[in-house]
Every structure is written in structure tokens, then in C-alpha cells.
Amino acid sequence: MTLFSGYGVQLLEGALVSISVAIAALFVGTILGIFLGAVKTYSSKPFRYAVEAYTAIVRGVPDLIIIYLIYFGSTVALTKLTGAYVDVNGFTAGVCALAFIFGAYASDIFRGAIMQVPRGQTEAADALGLRRRISFLKVILPQAWRLALPGFGNLAIILLKQTSLISVIGLEELLRASSVVSGSTREPFYVYSAAAVIYLVLTGVASYALRLARQRSNRGFA
């Protein structure tokens, strides 16, 4: 039996695109989240308020609006800046938008984790004469990671599901691919169900991996 008259491959290719978007956005978003989390914990008031405002906006505005804004907005902005029409590719815009959203939520998680690292650690690093940047990267962050992992894992799973929203700007990820396939096979129920199973497998694998990571990070504790 050929799955969906040979369209099954298209779904799997879509799944690959979803995974790539998720991994790229996770990478960019994590760096953004750590940076902003550090700003929220250590910076002076104006910077901190700016980051708080950014987080509040992401929390209060639907993801779809943010994705549209970044996709259409960057096209218009780049076209105006360069004078020529620039077509922002869906992958880049999608990764930027998801990283932008992820970074806001992650910054709160990292802030919480950084603050939970005992003060004595910072003081010890100071006493050893480490520069602040080194003490943050080599002393605080490795310990904060363990504390941030449960919340970070939840966000990562949410991010994996959020990649489906990128379908609205035309990137052929899993959901978009299923829409295309269901258009040609006229079997939307089966095709979307198949996509649902693929998403379940992806989120299942991701949460299993995160559980392993959590166990590993907790070795030697509790």
C-alpha cells in the first residue's frame, strides 16, 4: 500500500523542515533567553525595564500576530531600506519570529534559575579574581542550567508545536505539507491524522530526551 498515493514522502519532508525550524529557533532563542535573563538579573533599571516590556508584549500578543509582523514587517522594512524589493524567506522569518517569542519566555526561566544559584558562588568567583563575564559563563550559568532545565524543556516542546504556526507564511513545514497533500488526495481527515501522529512522535521523543537530560543534570543531587 502506498501511503496517501505516494504523498507520504511529502509529509516526512515537511516534518524535517519543522524539526530544522525548531532546532534553529531553539538555538537562537536560548542564546537570546540567557542574554535577556542576565540583563533582567544584573542590569541597571532602563535596560531591565526595556526587557520587561518586551516580555510583557510577547506574553500579551498572539504568536500569529508576532509571526505576521516579523514576516511582512521585515519584508517592508528591508524593501524600504534597500530600495529594491526584498523577499524575506519563510524559513528565516519563521526562525526569527519563534526565537523572538521563545527568548521572552526563556528569559524569565533563566532569570529565576540564575537567582536560585547561591550567592556564595558569585562571591567565591569574585574572590578568585574572575572577571564578571567569566564568572557568569563558567560559574553561574553551568549551575543555573540544571535549575532551568524543567521550564526550558516545557518551552522547547511548546516551540516544537509552534512551528506549525509558520505554515501561515507559506513555509512548507509539516502542517503546510499536510494541507497541500490533503488538497490533492481529498482525504483531509486521514492526512491531518497522519500529521498528528508525526507531531506526537516528535513531541514524545523530545520529552523523553528532556527527561534523560534532566536525570543527567540531577546526578549527584538529591
Residues that bind other proteins (CB under 8 A): 56-57, 59-66, 68-69, 72-73, 75-77, 80, 161-165, 167-168, 175, 178-179, 182, 186-190, 192-193, 195-196, 199-200, 203-204
Least spacing, CB of residue 82 vs other proteins, in Å: 14
Q: Which residues lie below 8 Å from residue 199, measured CB to CB, with a gap of 6+?
A: 160, 161, 164, 174
Closest distance to other proteins from the beta carbon of 211 (Å): 14
Residue number, 80 or 219, with CB nearest to other proteins: 80
85 — phi, psi (to 5°)?
Answer: -70, 125
Please compute, for residue 198, the number of CA atoms within 13 A of its CA located in the half-sphere on the CB side.
24
Nearer to other proteins, 117 or 173 (CB): 173
The label of the residue with cell 522569518 reads: 93
Least Å from the CB of residue 218 to other proteins = 21
Least separation in angstroms between residue 178's CB and other proteins is 8
Q: Is the Cβ of residue 13 or residue 63 nearer to other proteins in the bound state?
A: 63
Contact status, residue 43 vs residue 35, Cβ threshold 8 Å: no
- Angle CA 198–105–93, to nearest 5: 60
